[in-house]
Structure 1
């Protein structure tokens, strides 16, 4: 079993364009960094969509309760859907004093005997990391007994931010799973999707187009993923990072170990979806594939433009503010611009340096990159006359107070905005929000109030 990852080695990433200049990565710990989500939560976000693996939280039951099922990551897996089940050792005060390793082994035994998963991810938490429980040794023993992967995930909350936790989750997969099995069939167009979690089915908006082109998704990390597939991911021709740049360390190491090149792209909006499909075809290096991709893109764009025509008239002159996290700070901004909506500000508080650069490119010099959106967004609404706020649920009250339309675009959203169809979904939701009278009347005084 692989050694525990060293945090300091992950804090400078050569594949990040900004690392050389800043001498630090986006994941460098800063005071209060876990406020927006701790490393443990980030690791679970990265790995939880593996529905055929059990996810065992070795820590107090509150750690499981705070992180479990925080986003909708649907799966087509036909067996036990472990994304709907929470497992924890429920560490107590006695376990803190006497150690929790026996309790961990008993939990693994129970899971294998009753549920038969394809693998078990064991997550260290703050408490069990501090008391020194050796989850590596327990996983080694259990893997020897049962013959299936037991993957220790060393991402206790105190080590840093959610972004770093996602990277640590990727490290665990690379160390314990990738390269441990050969695929049954190989094709010239095998790719891996890295950082695509299939939130609200985003991945299913564009994978049918890849299949139409003959491009096979060999493995994902980790949307609608399978343990057997990620074990064979070392045989892919190309790694495609879908928005989540926190996993760039994984793709860089797979390039070094297995010779797999990688590209980074987004499937939000018309421009980026088309560019992404063409980038994959270019990277695979087949001229016939390039030509077929260009034909498909032209067809899909023509279909989409016809569907969007009624919405464009409504969106003319509309301004939006975007308050979300990470790659969505620019990818959703791109989608909004494809609809003809001006994005006057976006939040970069949880964004990487690369994300900030892309946000600046999309918004231009006049766009505001908010570093403290909680206090900035209300002022910017007043200054710009924005008509629409796209954010998480907590910002709904700002929209109500300012009497502008609101859409929830965080992980709690119920509808996919990915791919061409997703842009049409977004247009429909924006139309409904702008035409909803509640946002205009909710903050008014009652007729009988002076």
Structure 2
């Protein structure tokens, strides 16, 4: 039971204590891992990121125990795609109102779970607490236990009220929920020496579909995807994998550590964004699985894929090399664009690291080199100043900075979590190149850069 508002389980507390020493070292440094101060916002809250982690389990129902606005604020924000069930796209909320706050909303939640189980027959139900229901002390763990006993369908509580912390903590809460209630509850039909789990990739815009074919060519089976394009059953038997590969979410490293301790599964941290990073990831997986034949196949595949992508990128390199870009990307991993820009011969002159951890900031600074500029304020005025001082050719940011690029009269590329293009794998680099080329050479920017008629002294008719 978890009757105390905002209380998380002991294992989560233990995982937080693992970082105590590192946080003490970095306590004077600005980092997105710090808890936000009252009255301020700092990216996604724990509730948002817990849902972002678990919602990609496509055949499960996801119930927000709270006001309907909490469900509306997160649904549709991340374009995680599915190759099967679309149940995860449906909104479910207990829609807590004033009466429920006074008298408790547990009974309303229980009846709602029974009704959705009757109508939709989900593989499982995840129930997310919110700030209000945690504060009034609704026992969602007891409700989930009763619903499971009544229907036989696993119903999993996720203690993720937004006030407990920021985005990283929400990811950890989701990981702990899977470890406590999902992983280890079923067995796969068969196992192979080449079974791995992919952790931290949520299949945004179908990114994981650029990765799976590469592993299939090598004879490596992805036993469980945690959680992009996953089904509930595969997460249940993730404990039978031979290796965990953490692809994106650093916050889920605690999950990998616990699986190593509990099930003896080693883990590696890799990236599938950037050609050198993809190559290294495939090599490391082959080495960890410990098969010389697999390593030979991996080197052959890398050589073939690298040659093919280099040939396709040649045209874009001739058109883009030497261009200077400025990045202002918060929620999306900044170094993904840096890798692509360097491959295309472009120069990244400045970058904003607003929502990145201290580790991310160090990594970005290393990639930019000595002359790289780190934007601290990320304000339009600061960005314009950097653009003008360094003669930047393009601004890459989210849609909030589009007006800044118009003011500077330079091309703009919108990159955010709602994107519709996958940047992972070898094909992801090609997709980035296509977008950069299209943004640079679209005719509208040539027109924007021309002086206005009243600046040249000509009448509008003379400029037509």
Secondary structure of 1:27's match? coil
Which residue number in structure 1 is paired with residue 461 of structure 2? Answer: none
Is this contact kept in 1: 2:32–2:42, CA < 8 A? no
Deviation at 1:160, TM superposition (A): 1.6
Partner SS, residue 222 of structure 2: strand
Q: Is the 8 A contact 2:80 2:205 kept in 1?
A: yes
1:225 aligns with one of 201, 222, 230: 230
User: What's 1:409 paired with?
Assistant: 415
Report the alpha carbon displacement of residue 202 of structure 1 after superposing the two structures with TM. Answer: 0.6
Q: What's 1:51 paired with?
A: 58
> Equivalents in 1 of 2:17, 2:375: separation in Å?
25
Is the Cα–Cα contact under 8 Å of residues 34 and 161 in structure 1 kept in the other structure? no
Q: Specify the alignment match of 2:26 in structure 1.
A: 22
Q: 8 Å contact 2:207–2:423 — kept in the other structure?
A: yes
Alignment of 1:44-443 (within 5 A): 44-77=51-84, 79=85, 81-325=86-330, 328-375=333-380, 376-442=382-448
- Native 8 Å contact 1:325 1:351 kept in 2: yes
Q: Normalized against structure 1, the TM-score is what?
A: 0.94
Q: 1:125–1:155: 8 Å Cα contact kept in structure 2?
A: yes
State TM-score, norm by structure 2: 0.91
CA distance in 1: counterparts of 2:453 and 2:88, whole angstroms: 49
Q: Structure 2: how far apart are the matches of 1:5 and 1:117?
A: 26
Work out the CA distance in 2 between the residues paired with 1:383 and 1:283: 47
The residue that corresponds to 2:462 in the other structure is none
Report the CA distance between 1:128 and its aligned residue.
0.7
Q: Hey, what's the Cα distance between the residues in 1 that align with 2:320 and 2:450? A: 25
Partner Cα separation in structure 1 for residue 146 and residue 192 of structure 2: 36
Would the alpha carbon gap of residues 121 and 34 (structure 1) be closer, same or farther in structure 2, given more than 3 Å must change? farther
Q: Tell me the distance in 2 between the aligned counterparts of 1:126 and 1:309.
A: 52
Question: What is the alpha-carbon distance in structure 1 between the residues aligned to residue 264 and residue 375 of structure 2?
Answer: 39
Q: Higher Cα Rg: structure 1 or 2?
A: 2
Q: CA deviation at 1:406?
A: 1.5
CA distance in 2, matches of 1:445, 1:310: 31
Return the offset for 1:181: 1.0
1:412/1:59 CA distance change after superposition, 3 Å: same
Contact 1:64-1:86 at 8 Å conserved across structures? yes
The number of equivalent residue pairs is: 447
CA RMSD, 1 decimal: 2.2
Quick one: distance in 1 between partners of 2:340 and 2:117? 44
For structure 1, list consecutive stretches of 5 or more residues without a partner in the other structure.
none
Aligned partners of 2:340 and 2:433 also within 8 Å: no
Matched residue of 1:51: which SS?
A: coil
Change (3 A) 1:17 1:326: farther
* Superposition deviation, residue 9 in structure 1: 3.7
Higher deviation after alignment, 38-47 or 436-445: 436-445
SS of the residue 2:453 aligns to: coil
Per-residue deviation, 1:10: 4.2
- Farther off after superposition, 86-95 or 379-388: 379-388
Say which SS state the counterpart of residue 373 (structure 1) adopts: coil
CA offset digits 1:264-288 (Å, max 9, x no partner): 1111121111111112112212111
Residue ranges of structure 2 left out of the alignment (5+ in a row): 458-464
Comparing 372-381 and 38-47, the one that deviates more: 372-381
Query: Could you tell me how far 1:333 is from its partner in structure 2?
Result: 1.4
The Cα shift of 1:8 comes to 4.7
